[in-house]
Amino acid sequence: MATHASALKAHRQSLKNREHNRQFRARLRGALKDARTAVAGNDLAKAKAALQQTISLIDRMASKGMIHRNAAGRYKSRLTKRLTARA
């Protein structure tokens, strides 16, 4: 266990950041699932709205470094490709 004050503070911060990142990743997984089911359901308006919200979340996470920018691009590309294939 850390004994220096700075190491203790760093540990507290890492726990807090890990929980924050975990919640964001869970939100991302849920948003991706919602967007995929909306596309599969052939409801074009709902799918476009879900895609827009999901892309916004993906961009926010990539800008904060929670996910890699290439991973963000891959998610967005695959979702958009699914939507345009259905349209």
For position 25, what pLDDT does the model report? 95
Mean per-residue pLDDT for 60-69? 95
- Residue with the bigger pLDDT between 86 and 60: it is 60
This prediction's pTM: 0.84
pLDDT at 73 over 90: yes
For position 36, what pLDDT does the model report? 94
Q: What percent of the chain has pLDDT over 90?
A: 90
Task: Compute how many other C-beta atoms are within 10 angstroms of the C-beta atom of residue 35.
Answer: 26
**Cα 42 to Cα 24, 50, 57, 63, 87, distances in angstroms:** 27, 13, 22, 31, 8
DSSP classification of residue 63: H
